[in-house]
Amino acid sequence: MPRTLDERRSLGGRLAVDFVNLGKVFSGSSPRPLSWERLITFLEAASVVSPERGAQLLALPNLDSRSSEALLSRAQRLQTALREVFSASVRRGRIAREWIGTINEILRITEGHDELVSDADAWRLEFVAREDSLDWLLAAIARSGAEILAESAASRLRLCGNPTCGLFFCDTSRTRKRRWCSMATCGNRHKVAAFAQRQTGRPTS
């Protein structure tokens, strides 16, 4: 069952996790390289940019292809770095300095400050960039990834229990025993397979 971009986007529970998951097409295919359109659609769906700004950005490759290519390649490097870092983190493996370097590079160039903004009946913190360069578009993602790493075990970063899925998520369940990116897809598939196995007494896969 194919999922919509929006469903996949929200499964991870954190911006950087959703960004890494974006690179995975459903059902275990190898990661697809990030396109400009997917990047901008993601930033818009994640409320990093407004729909108006998103529409402007979608037209950018026709107006200033050098800027859009530079940002896309930086976004692709960030996505790869975060994927490697998350994979190593869930395996308790060694995290290579070069991956951290890519994240730090974006944290460094995107100076700015947080500001309180009113959001309906609540307040939230929003990052305001000092310069209006395109790189700030990746700042929130890099920071989200950095926070997950800095929180270490507390972030409860997990890889979906379905070995062909490959999606990451942050386990915010009370029991801390969430196994699947989504109960509706991977969890259900597991239940069906386990049921079939009980019926026939032999493995189905």
Is position 11 an interface residue for Zn ion (rule: CB under 5 A)?
Answer: no
Is position 181 an interface residue for Zn ion (rule: CB under 5 A)?
Answer: yes
Is position 160 an interface residue for Zn ion (rule: CB under 5 A)?
Answer: yes
Number of chain residues interacting with Zn ion (CB under 5 A): 6
Q: Which residue's CB is nearer to Zn ion, number 96 or number 192?
A: 192
Minimum Å gap between C-beta 160 and Zn ion is 3
- CB atoms under 10 Å from CB of 21, counted, come to 25
In terms of Cβ atoms closer than 10 Å to its own Cβ (0-12, 13-18, 19+), residue 111 is: exposed
Q: Which residue's CB is nearer to Zn ion, number 110 or number 162?
A: 162
In this chain, which of 57, 137, 162, 168 binds Zn ion, going by CB under 5 A?
Answer: 162
Is position 21 an interface residue for Zn ion (rule: CB under 5 A)?
Answer: no
Residue type, 192: V
Structure-token pair, residue 183: 């109960």
How many Å apart are CA 193 and CA 203, to the nearest integer?
Answer: 8
In this chain, which of 20, 148, 165, 170 binds Zn ion, going by CB under 5 A?
Answer: 165
Minimum Å gap between C-beta 15 and Zn ion is 19
Nearest to 162 by CA among 65, 27, 55, 34: 27
Is position 141 an interface residue for Zn ion (rule: CB under 5 A)?
Answer: no
Number of helices (H) and strands (E), helices first, in the chain?
9, 4
Q: Where along the sequence are the contacts to Zn ion (CB under 5 A)?
A: 160, 162, 165, 167, 181, 186
